[in-house]
């Protein structure tokens, strides 16, 4: 269950960095000619994206996920709200384990 909690945390961080990149850094770059915002936020997002992929593969192996579940989890990271939906799904999966 610790691996699922780690994946949930990384998904939330990666999702926040993606939204920050799209909603703050990109407008700063194009509206105010501040490309540094995209460089800084983009680097952080890139690191979190790679971490998300690595943690997903680790969780997939530890939990014995089928290829479809792993692919769907990785696909979630490509959609702006996907990591948040994934975190909610993982939270539901973790909830019964916490009460047991």
Number of residues in the chain: 100
Considering just the CA atoms, what is the radius of gyration of the chain in Å?
A: 15
Q: In whole angstroms, how far apart are CA 24 and each of 38, 54, 79?
A: 9, 26, 17
Question: In this prediction, what percent of the chain has a pLDDT beyond 70?
Answer: 95
Residue range 80-93: mean pLDDT, rounded: 93
Q: How many domains does the chain have?
A: 1
- Give the residue among 78, 75, 81, 72 at the shortest CA–CA distance from 19: 81
pLDDT digits over 39-74, tens only?
A: 999 999 999 999 999 999 999 999 999 999 999 999
Look up the domain containing 54 and give its range: 2-99
Q: Quick one: pLDDT at residue 97?
A: 64
- Dist. CA 68–CA 35, nearest whole Å: 38
According to the model, what pLDDT value does residue 1 have?
A: 63
Q: Give the mean pLDDT of the chain.
A: 93
């Amino acid at each position: 269950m610790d691996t699922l909690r780690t994946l949930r945390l990384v998904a939330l961080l990666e999702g926040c960095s993606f939204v920050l990149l799209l909603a703050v850094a990109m407008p700063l770059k194009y509206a105010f000619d501040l490309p540094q915002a995209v460089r800084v936020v983009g680097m952080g997002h890139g690191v979190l994206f790679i971490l998300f992929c690595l943690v997903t593969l680790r969780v997939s192996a530890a939990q014995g996920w089928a290829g479809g579940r792993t692919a769907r989890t990785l696909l979630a990271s490509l959609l702006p709200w996907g990591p948040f939906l994934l975190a909610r799904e993982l939270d539901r999966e973790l909830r019964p384990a916490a009460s047991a």
